[in-house]
Each structure stands twice: as C-alpha cells, then as structure tokens.
Structure 1
C-alpha cells in the first residue's frame, strides 16, 4: 500500500523506475506535474556534447493530445495552430510545440520543451472531449514519448526499422507510422532529433532496445532537462 508521501508525489512516466535505478534519488525535479531527472551539475557545453554524440531522452512528462474528426483542421486553425498540408507530415509551431498529421482527419499535438507543454495541457482541460465533427483523444497515458538525438540517429533506426530514415530521404517534418523493433511506433523528424511515440505498455522494452542499438555509437540516456539545456545553448 502506498504511503502518504508516495500518494502525494508527482506523477511518474512509464520509465521512471529505470531512470531512478540509473541515477538514484538525487537531482529530481517537477516538470508538468511529473517527477523528472534534473540536468547534471555540469556545463551547458557538456550537455551539448552529449546531444551531439548519441542520446535517448524520455519526454513522456510533456503534454500530448490527439484531435480527430471532419472539422478537426478548422478547429485547430481557429485555436492558432499551423497545420501540415498532407498526412504523415509535421509542422513545428512558433512556441516549439509540434503538430503531426496522422491521416486526413487526425492530428497529434506534442508539447514544447520551452513551456513543458503547458499550452497543450491547458487546451486539453479547456476543450470539450467531443463536439460536432471534432473529438479530442487523450494521449498522455496511451503513448510514451522518446527523443533520439545525435548524428547517428539514422544509423540507429536502420537497425530497428525498415523505413529509410537517412537525411536525404526522411527530411525534417516527415512522419513515419511504422514498426520499430516489432512495435508499432510513430517516428517524427523534429529537426534536432527524432521523436518516437510507442504504446505505453511497451515503453520499457522499447527503451532497452533503443539503448542496445545505440551502443555501437556510445549512446547514452540524456535527461529531459539536460536535453532542454542543450537545445537552448
């Protein structure tokens, strides 16, 4: 049975226990209501070096939301979102969030590191779950969200996925809905990194498989706060 302290603790991502086993109980901080690893006590230059090597980050604390329906495009446009012109494309918003178009009438909204996804979190609480022609789909608990960074990301993905993700083929803003390590996944080229979204139930398996594929390139986990600091540098 959970203690009072545990009951009052911040929410935890599906990978929390793996991060805790690696880093212990120190340097934890809140992010969007979740407990996440803090950035290492070193320079921004060190975090940038990690980012430019090969790194994997857990972004599952950031807000994400699905919107589907015949009127979804108009609804999102009215709320200030810039939309992709075709399915399997993504557009980065001015605030750093991202909108991916998964089909003719379904969109995935991913929060920004800059504001911990607060814009999308607020919209999720304010928007009705459905109205005529528009349905909001909770994605916070259904999909774990990872970021694969560094110059070797295409080579890492080539070990796990049949889609060609070399830079000249899988350009920034492209989306692949495919199998990665035999798991259904959404892969988005977000420019500075690849976003990978996978069923929450497979998060631990997926994390370990990704780290194994990264070993050839000395890949290491990178906390979400360290990733944020590196991207701001």
Structure 2
C-alpha cells in the first residue's frame, strides 16, 4: 500500500474506505416482457425512465432497468428482501405480457463500497466507472475479471456504493478477484450485519 493511500485511509471506516459484502442471500428477481413496465408500476414500484438506470424505492429496495422491457429488482436490507421474495412468490401470468426471471439461483451479488471503488473496479474492468462517467443511478452491463457483470451505482458522492451481479457459479472466483483488487486500498470483507 502506498503512503498516499495510507494517509487517505486515516479516520475512514472500512465501509467508507473500501469494503466488499456478499449479498447473495438477499432476494432479487427479474421481470421481462412488453408489459413489464405496466406490471411493475401496478405493483407500486417507481421505475427508471430509460435503460441502464436504477432507482431506489422508499422501502430501500432497488429497481434497475436493463433494457426497454427488462428489469432487475434487488431486495432491501431493511426487510431482508421480504417484499421482493413476496413479489416473486405471488407472480402469476395474468393479463400482463410479463415474465418472471428468478435471479437468486442465477446471480451472485456483491456490494463494493468506499472511496476507492472506481480504482478497484479499474483493475478488473475496462469500463470507466469513475464518478464523472458513472454517476449514481447508472447501470453498466459489462465484463469484469473476464465474466459478465451488472454494475449498479447506488451510492452517493459522500458514500460510494456499487452493487455487482454476475453468474452465481462464479461467486468464489469473482469474490477472490475483487479481494485481490482491493488489497492495495486496504480493503475489507465484511458481513451483511455491517449494513444493518
């Protein structure tokens, strides 16, 4: 670790400096189809206006719009994802052309937080995820550590946070790659209780 980075770390908590938390056990679900927008609006969600954008809901859950007709909904830590798990359980094919995409089995989910998250991701990913290019609410569908990832900027200038989703079978591999990239920045791996 360089002396410059060491100086910058003074007084910052691990979450503020550089931390990864595994959220893979928190419910998440996808919806796709020509009526997916109407369906989610009817279920009370606030939706992004355009693809590759995300919106945080009043209950702390998040909706990311991946295309004109596909959404990814991430559960809130406030209720441990219960609302989203209920949405998935209650879904049925009705008068909406809207298809359920179960994501708990298909996608791993890591949160990366702290002032060094753009630098950490630059070691793994060719996309420019610096704040000036990738503002809060932005979604990038890209490649990192040679696997496909969805990176969602759900932080703020004061508290930078990326939610990163990827093939669940690659969870151990990607977590290891992320931890290696975090090493220069004195990164920490924390438990989910650090967020509650």
Matched, 1:220 2:184: no
Cα pair 1:160 1:180 within 8 Å, conserved: yes
- Per the normalisation by structure 2, the TM-score is 0.89
Which blocks of at least 5 consecutive residues in structure 2 are unaligned? Answer: 1-11
Aligned to 1:107: 71
Which of residues 113, 122, 134 is equivalent to 1:149? 113
Corresponding residue SS for 1:51: helix
Aligned to 2:129: 165
Corresponding residue SS for 1:184: strand
Question: What do residues 110-164 of structure 1 show as CA deviations (whole Å, max 9, x unaligned)?
Answer: 0011111111111111111676411011001100000001100000011111111
Report how many residues are paired: 181
Which blocks of at least 5 consecutive residues in structure 1 are unaligned? Answer: 1-47, 229-233
Aligned to 1:124: 88
Aligned to 1:197: 165
CA RMSD of aligned residues (A): 1.2
Runs of 4+ in 1 over 6 A off after TM superposition: none
Which of residues 34, 39, 44 is equivalent to 1:75? 39
Which of residues 80, 96, 103 is equivalent to 1:139? 103
Cα pair 1:68 1:134 within 8 Å, conserved: yes
Which of residues 143, 146, 149 is equivalent to 1:179? 143
1:115 and 1:97 mapped to 2: Cα distance? 9
